[in-house]
Structure 1
């Protein structure tokens, strides 16, 4: 399996959520309070400094009616793209493939 290139910058679910709350005119402070989440955690997710977990995706779904599975799919795609651009990981994968080829 080769190294797939996507040709675009990966989208973090925080970017999608940030656009959504801006469109709805909801402040981050109000949303954090509504979700029972600290402002810092919410802000870190929205500014792509923290990954979205299944639990936080479900909290966003409850607060904004954005499907949790869609948010998790975006996070998974983001994680895959980031991993595929990791040169250290790519070197390790190349070594594993080389060893697997002689088995």
Structure 2
């Protein structure tokens, strides 16, 4: 299976699918999650990443597992890093074993 093209930030999933599906505002969701409205808003608007702590809270709140939220974040971050990387790295040359 190939890598997803421009994977969504997990905050976008929360903003577009989860909160409307639950009929919740950011303020209500933040209160239920035990985080500040500002912190959740930053994630929802793609200005902050899903932390391991928030991933645990989301899994407890919605069901499922924390790893799935972290994997979404990782896919999003890696896809963007690969497209924005200006690294010019020379692969290591291994010496021949004696």
TM-score range, shorter chain: 0.7 to 0.9
Pick from 13, 16, 20: which aligns with 2:13?
A: 16
CA RMSD of aligned residues (A): 2.0
Is the counterpart of residue 85 in structure 1 residue 79 in structure 2? no
Q: Secondary structure at the match of 1:80?
A: helix
Within the alignment, does 1:38 sit opposite 2:36 as a pair?
A: yes
* Count of residue pairs brought into register by the alignment: 93
> What's the counterpart of residue 71 of structure 2?
73
- 1:47 corresponds in structure 2 to 45
Using the size of structure 2 for normalisation, the TM-score is 0.80
Structure with a larger share of its residues in helix? 1
- Give the whole-Å Cα distance in 2 for the aligned partners of 1:23 and 1:51: 22
CA offset at residue 102 of structure 1?
7.1
Unaligned runs of at least 5 residues, structure 2: none
